[in-house]
């Protein structure tokens, strides 16, 4: 391959990887979260998984399921991570992790459908309510901090978030069941 052809191939390869990875990243994160006990662990393993996927992208067969391939790589990275943390009592036993990985892989399409429905349902909230949800659950801010910024008592914000969560659950349930567009 000549140098300009090689550069074009590398650029196309890079763009294709980024496109596939960006599309699959939320579901891949969900998959890893089902295997690992903490969000910090999930973030660490996802970062390592993304590097391995990048390095091994030439072995991916175009036209096959990128997410399934990425989950298999992520599964091995999670197992490797678990072995490195073997003394930590919060890390699952290897057999249990294998079982969870198999079940999570089977549940991945449903989880992804629910995640997309939740995303759409969040967009239907008012800006104030969406801001509260994103502050408390998206950034892991403490409810007292969010309540202070919102000019509310923590108790009233907690009750408001409870109502919002119930509404989101109902919206996601109807969306997944097909009675409400996502």
What are the boundaries of each domain within the chain? 1-109, 125-182
- Nearest Cα neighbor of 109 from 67, 75, 80, 163 is 67
Query: In the prediction, which pLDDT does 112 show?
Result: 80
**CATH 2.40.160 assigned to 1-109:** no
Q: What is the Cβ-side half-sphere exposure of residue 39, based on CA atoms within 13 angstroms?
A: 4
CA dihedral 125, 128, 130, 133 (to 10 degrees): -130
Rounded CA separation 25/108 (Å)? 12
Average pLDDT over residues 127-149: 81
Query: In the prediction, which pLDDT does 38 show?
Result: 82
Dihedral sign for Cα atoms in the order 70, 71, 73, 78: positive
End-to-end Cα, the chain, rounded Å:
46
User: What is the pTM assigned to this prediction?
Assistant: 0.53
CA dihedral 33, 112, 49, 85 (to 10 degrees): 10
Q: What angle, rounded to 10 degrees, do the helices at 66-84 and 3-35 form? A: 60
Residue 60's SS3 state is coil
Rg from Cα positions in the chain: 20
Q: How confident is the model at residue 52 (pLDDT cuts 50, 70, 90)?
A: very high
Q: CA–CA distance from 45 to each of 17, 55, 134 (Å)?
A: 18, 15, 24
> Count of CB atoms within 10 A of residue 130's CB?
15
**Is-same-fold flag (1-109; 125-182)?**
no
Contact 67, 24 (CB under 8 A): yes
Average pLDDT over residues 36-51: 90
pLDDT at 182 over 90: no
CATH topology of domain 125-182: Arc Repressor Mutant, subunit A (1.10.10)
């Amino acid at each position: 391959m000549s140098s300009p052809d090689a550069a074009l191939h590398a650029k196309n390869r890079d763009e294709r990887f980024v496109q596939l990875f960006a599309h699959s990243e939320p579901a891949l994160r969900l998959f890893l979260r089902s295997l690992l006990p903490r969000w910090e662990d999930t973030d660490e393993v996802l970062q390592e998984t993304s590097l391995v996927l990048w390095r091994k992208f030439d072995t991916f067969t175009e036209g096959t399921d990128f997410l399934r391939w990425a989950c298999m790589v992520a599964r091995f990275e999670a197992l490797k991570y678990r072995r490195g943390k073997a003394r930590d009592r919060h890390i699952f036993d290897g057999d249990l992790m294998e079982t969870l990985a198999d079940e999570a892989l089977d549940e991945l399409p449903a989880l992804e459908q629910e995640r997309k429905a939740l995303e759409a349902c969040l967009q239907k909230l008012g800006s104030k309510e969406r801001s509260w949800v994103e502050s408390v659950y998206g950034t892991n801010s403490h409810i007292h901090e969010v309540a202070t910024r919102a000019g509310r008592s923590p108790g009233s914000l907690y009750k408001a978030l409870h109502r919002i969560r119930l509404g989101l659950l109902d919206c996601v349930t109807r969306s997944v069941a097909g009675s409400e567009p996502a």
